[in-house]
């Protein structure tokens, strides 16, 4: 199986590297081809988007949002037009499910199948290959590529037809964002009340309030570490997609709207490239304290 991987960003680069480590024949591509050099050094090949399309059995994209995926795949001289009939397109970007369905319709005339397979876990889990991968598409196509996807994730679950993967990802991003907001509020309360946030974290992490989000983000908030594993601007993008989808289907999402306003405040105060745990800095601004310091 020859795999093409387009998008060597924070997530795409380690994901492609795990495919190389698993022994797959991987050709990588990126708008800035210099970002492909570490993958080539690890054993991958590199090529243009068109070279990837013409030479590979499956093309994976990991790009910022729907417009970028549409441009690469279906734009002028797009990848889909150069793919072999019977090949498969797997979009692992986090985009609006409506865009996923449009992409599926767009590649179908070329005889290309599609899966939407967004991921959760951020850069650390992309590096160690333990991402959660949420997949939409036909059962037989999913079955064909599940083992390959498992080289990048510890959980690979088909959630329904094309679009279901990104719908699941939007649900995931709502839960993560609201958890981070609640965590920041709680630790701010603890410190303002004179209780050490480190001790609060230690006391509650094993109870009902404990979560993967808390384990990953509480130490970052307490240390003031805002190095991005997942950038605020990317979470803004995901929640914009969630709000658009919710409005389209009539789902009430007031908590999502609330945390989106906090993220937007962070963006407007030079926080867009910080980790989403930096939501805590919004509460620090309001309260006049720094959590854990």
State how far the Cα of 60 lies from the Cα of 45, in Å rounded to an integer: 15
pLDDT of residue 153: 98
* Joined tokens for residue 211: 């979560």
Give Cβ neighbours of residue 227 (< 8 Å, ≥ 6 apart): 275
Helices H, strands E: what count in the chain? 13, 9
Is 252 within a domain? yes
Rounded to two decimals, the pTM is 0.90
* Joined tokens for residue 103: 């992409």
Q: What integer is the mean pLDDT of 197-226?
A: 97
User: Is residue 122 over pLDDT 90?
Assistant: no
Of 108, 142, 160, the residue that ends a domain is: 160
Q: What integer is the mean pLDDT of 189-211?
A: 97
Model pLDDT for residues 3-40, shown as the tens digit of each residue: 999 999 989 999 999 999 999 999 999 999 999 999 99
User: Is residue 182 over pLDDT 90?
Assistant: yes
State how far the Cα of 10 lies from the Cα of 227, in Å rounded to an integer: 12
Q: What's the CA angle centered on 125, arms 119 and 126, to 5 degrees?
A: 65
Is residue 106 located within the same domain as residue 179?
no
Instruction: Tell me the CA distances in angstroms from 140 to 38, 39, 70, one per residue in order.
Output: 34, 30, 24
pLDDT of residue 293: 87
Model pLDDT for residues 51-82, shown as the tens digit of each residue: 999 999 999 999 999 999 999 999 999 999 99
Give Cβ neighbours of residue 233 (< 8 Å, ≥ 6 apart): 267, 272, 273
pLDDT of residue 104: 98
Of 160, 175, 190, the residue that ends a domain is: 160
User: Is residue 110 over pLDDT 90?
Assistant: yes
Is residue 240 located within the same domain as residue 141?
no
How many domains are contained in the chain? 2
Domain that holds residue 30: 2-160
Of 144, 160, 176, the residue that ends a domain is: 160
Is 293 within a domain? no
Is residue 20 located within the same domain as residue 115?
yes
Which residues are known to be catalytic? 169
Is residue 26 located within the same domain as residue 129?
yes
Is residue 217 located within the same domain as residue 106?
no
pLDDT of residue 2: 98
CATH of residue 251's domain is 1.10.1040.10
Q: What integer is the mean pLDDT of 87-99?
A: 96
Is 292 within a domain? no
- In this structure, are strands 45-46 and 25-29 parallel, antiparallel, or unpaired? parallel
């Amino acid at each position: 199986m020859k795999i093409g991987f387009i998008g060597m960003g924070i997530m795409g680069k380690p994901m492609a590297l795990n495919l190389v480590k698993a022994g797959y024949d991987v050709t990588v591509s990126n708008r800035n081809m210099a970002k492909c050099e570490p993958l080539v050094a690890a054993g991958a090949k590199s090529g243009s988007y068109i070279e990837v399309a013409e030479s590979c059995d499956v093309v994976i994209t990991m790009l910022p949002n729907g417009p970028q995926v549409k441009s690469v795949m279906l734009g002028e001289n797009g990848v889909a037009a150069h793919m072999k009939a019977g090949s498969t397109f797997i979009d692992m970007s986090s985009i609006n499910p409506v865009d996923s369905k449009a992409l599926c319709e767009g590649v179908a005339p070329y005889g290309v199948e599609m899966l939407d397979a967004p991921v959760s876990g951020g850069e650390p889990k992309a590096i160690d290959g333990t991402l959660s991968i949420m997949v939409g598409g036909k059962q037989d196509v999913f079955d064909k590529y599940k083992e390959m996807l498992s080289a990048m994730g510890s959980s690979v679950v088909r959630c329904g037809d094309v679009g279901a993967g990104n719908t699941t990802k939007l649900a995931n991003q709502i839960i993560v964002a609201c958890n981070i907001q609640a965590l920041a509020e709680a630790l701010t309360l603890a410190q303002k009340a004179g209780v050490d946030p480190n001790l609060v974290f230690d006391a509650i992490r094993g109870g009902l309030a404990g979560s993967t989000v808390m384990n990953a983000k509480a130490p970052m908030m307490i240390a003031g570490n805002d190095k991005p594993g997942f950038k605020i601007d990317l979470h803004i993008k995901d929640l914009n997609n969630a709000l658009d989808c919710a409005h389209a289907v009539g789902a009430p999402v007031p908590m999502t709207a609330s945390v989106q306003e906090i993220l937007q405040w962070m963006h407007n105060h030079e926080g867009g490239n910080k980790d989403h745990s930096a939501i805590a800095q919004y509460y620090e601004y309001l309260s006049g304290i720094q959590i854990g310091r």
